[in-house]
Amino acid sequence: MLRPHLRTPLSHPRLPPHTPPHLLAANRTKMSVSEYIEKTELAAKVEAAVNEAVKARPDEPLSFLVSGE
């Protein structure tokens, strides 16, 4: 008998129906990352910070990005 949490098979519309569970978990993680980036507008914020660094052309661009100067 299957344990209760294993009774319903995992599925995803873009993956074949018999995809191994470890690949399903990896796909959910990727989706979660995409959702996080979209939700927090992280890509736009990083792009804006990099554009500011390019305009300022500091000697230490990573320090510039971290400090938010």
φ, ψ at 15 (rounded to 5°)? -110, 150
pLDDT at 8: 46
What is the spatial distance between Cα 16 and Cα 25, in angstroms, rounded to a whole number? 14
pLDDT at 31: 65
Q: How does pLDDT run across 1-31, given as a tens digit for each residue?
A: 444 444 444 444 565 667 777 666 666 666 6
17-32 core/surface letters (b: 16 or more CB in 10 A; e: else)? eebeeeeeeeeeeeee
pLDDT at 35: 86
Output the CA–CA distances (angstroms, integers) from residue 5 to 2, 10, 30, 57, in the order listed.
8, 10, 22, 54
